[in-house]
Amino acid sequence: MVGGMATDPTAKPSGDSMRIAVLDDEAAMLAFVTQTLIEAGHYCYDFPNARTLISRLRQDTFDLVILDWNMPDKSGVEIIQWMRENMDKPVPSLLLTNRNSDEDIVAGLDAGADDYVIKPVQPSVLLARINAIHRRTGPREAIGANESYGPFTLHPARQMVSVDGENVTLTAKEFELAATLFRNMHRPLSRSYLLEIVWGRNPDLPTRTLDAHISRIRAKLGLRPERGFRLIPVYSYGYRLEALEAEDS
């Protein structure tokens, strides 16, 4: 396979199509990811080593790079750092790796990766994560008066959430937290990010504040897999809200 060769999206290309670069030294993995993306209608370019990817990044534009962490020449994390240092607008990145320890996840996200997915991965999960990155990094759509996520509808004006048409009353902070999580679906949000967005810069907050609020909105809204959503703690980092519909379909 020639590095950087575009695979023609023969399947159904749509308006949501992205140009995606994939880096992996394992040919089977590279083929699996590429196939998954093409089937979903994206334009995909595969790179077996970091050197060729970097030289391509210097002269081409991508919507997303999917990076393996452990590479023989330059690790995925190092490529993220290279992009941050050498590009005006770094390409959004997703780390796809076998490294599954919490320390690695936190290190990867802290290095600037937009998301972190552990191998092996189900095609649906991979696509959901890619779409989530695209939604928040791609061209912004105007946020309507009410936002709907599955059975949940946010009513920002009334600071209220309705579930299947039934209204659930939240406190101001709870609504703010729920809205932040919904609007950043699939994105790992660090504790400090959530605290700053919802509470502002307040250093005297008890440490359990965030956990207690997460616990309450999960209970009040029923953010459980049965309803198609899962609130996942990212250890030593923060939380991520995940929609499971993609998997179901």
Partner 1 sequence: MALSSRSPSPPARLYAEWLAVAIVATLLIFALVTGRLTERLDHIVYDNLLTASGRPPPDDILIVAIDNRSLQAIGRWPWPRAIHAQALDRLAEARPRAIGYDVLFVEPSADDDLLAAAVRRTPTYLPMVIDVPGTDGAPYDIALPAGPLKDAAAGIAQVNLHFEDDRVIRTAYLEEGGGGRSWLQLSALMAGLKPDGSAARARHGLWQARPVLIPYGGAAGHVSSISFVDLLAGRVPAEFIRDRHVLIGATADGMGDSYPTPTSGVTGQMAGVEIQAQLLDALLRGEAITPAPRAWTLWLALCALWTMLVGFLRLSPRANANLALILIVALPLFSFLLFRFGHVWLPPSAALIGLLFVYPLWGWRRLQAISSYMTGELRQLDAENDAFPRRHRVLSVREVTLQAGLLGQAIDRLRDLRRFLSDAIGRLPDALFVTGLDGRLALTNAEGRRLARRLGAPSEVGADLRILLDRFRASDGTGFSPFAADAPVRGGTETATEDGGSFDIRYVAQRDAANAQVGWIIRIVDVTALKQAERHREEALQLLSHDMRAPQSAILALLRGPETGVPKAMAARIEGLANRTLDLAEDFVQLARAEAKPMDREPLDMNDLTIDAADALWPVAKARSIRVAVEGTDDPHLVDGDRQLLTRAILNLISNAIKYSDPGMRIRCSVSEAEGLIRVAVADEGVGMDEDQLANLFARFRQGPREGVGLGLTFVRTVVARHGGTIDCTSAPGKGTTFTITLRKSDVDPYADE
**∠ CA 93-99-105 to the nearest 5 degrees?**
55
How does strand 115-118 pair with strand 93-97?
A: parallel
Instruction: Assess contact for 53 and 81: CB atoms under 8 A.
Output: no
> Which of these segments, 22-30, 57-65, 81-89, 128-136, binds partner 1 (CB under 8 A)?
22-30
Site for partner 1, residues 218 to 237, rule: CB under 8 A: 218-219, 224-226, 230-233, 235-236
Following DSSP, what letter does each residue of 63-124 receive, concatenated? SEEEE-S--SSS-HHHHHHHHHHH-SSPPPEEEEES---HHHHHHHHHHT-SEEEESS--HH
Q: Would you state the structure tokens that stand for residue 172, as one six-digit string?
A: 């101001």
73 forms part of the interface with partner 1 (CB under 8 A):
no
Number of residues that bind partner 1 (CB under 8 A): 42
Phi, psi (degrees; rounded to nearest 5) at 71: -125, 155
- Please report, as residue ranges, which positions from 83 to 142 form the binding site for partner 1 (by CB under 8 A): 97-102, 104, 119-120, 123
Shortest spacing between CB 70 and partner 1, in angstroms: 6
Q: Which of 2, 10, 28, 61 binds partner 1 (CB under 8 A)?
A: 28
Nearer to partner 1, 60 or 211 (CB): 211
Q: Determine, following the binding rule CB under 8 A, whether residue 70 of this chain makes contact with partner 1.
A: yes
Binding of partner 1 by 213 (CB under 8 A): yes
* Minimal distance, residue 145 CB to partner 1, in Å: 31
CA-CA-CA-CA torsion sign (165, 168, 172, 176): negative
Position among 3, 9, 13, 29 found at the interface with partner 1 (CB under 8 A): 29
| 187-206 footprint of partner 1 as x/- string (CB under 8 A) | ------------------xx
Chain centroid, CA 149 distance in Å: 16
Residue 233, classed as helix, strand or coil, is strand
201 vs 195: CA distance, rounded Å:
8
Closest distance of CB 99 from partner 1, Å = 5
Q: Which residues sit at the interface with partner 1, rule CB under 8 A?
A: 26, 28-29, 31-33, 35-36, 70, 97-102, 104, 119-120, 123, 205-209, 211-215, 218-219, 224-226, 230-233, 235-236, 244, 247
